[in-house]
Structure 1
Amino acid sequence: MFIVITSQNRHHITPHAGKCRKFWKYELKDGKVTDKQVTEVEKEQSFSQSGEVLEKLLPMDIFVTTEMCDRLREKLRNIGVHVMVTAEIEPEQFICSLISAK
Structure 2
Amino acid sequence: MQIAVTSQNRKNVTEHAGKCRKFWLYDIEKGAITDKHLVELPIEDSFHARQHCMADELAGINVLITGSMGNGLYHKLLQRGILSVITLEEDPDSAVSAFLDNRLDRLPLPDNTHCQGHDHHH
Relative to the length of structure 1, the TM-score reads 0.91
Take 1:54 and 1:97, find their aligned partners in 2: how far apart are those partners?
Answer: 26
1:89 aligns to what?
90
Which residue is 1:22 aligned to?
Answer: 22
Cα deviation, residue 65, structure 1: 0.3
CA contact (8 A) 1:41 1:53 kept: no
Any gaps of 5 or more consecutive residues in structure 2? 104-122
**Who is 1:56 aligned against?**
57
Return the offset for 1:53. Answer: 4.8
| Map 1:44-83 → 2, pairs under 5 A | 44-51=44-51, 53-83=54-84
State the SS of the aligned residue for 1:101. Answer: coil
Tell me which amino acid in the other structure corresponds to 2:96: I
Q: Highest CA radius of gyration, 1 or 2?
A: 2
More RCO (CA 8 Å, sep 6+): 1
The Cα offsets for residues 15-60 of structure 1, whole Å up to 9 and x where unpaired, read as 0111100000001111211111111111121111125653221211
Partner of 1:26: helix, strand, or coil? strand
Is contact 1:23–1:40 with CA below 8 Å preserved after alignment? yes
| Identity rate, percent | 35
Amino acid at match of 2:22: K
SS in 2 for 1:34: strand
In 1, distance between residues paired with 2:6 and 2:58? 11
The whole-number CA distance in structure 1 between the counterparts of 2:6 and 2:54 is 12
TM-score by length of 2: 0.77
Structure 1 portions without partners, runs of 5+: none
CA RMSD of the aligned region, Å?
1.5
| Larger fraction in strand | 1
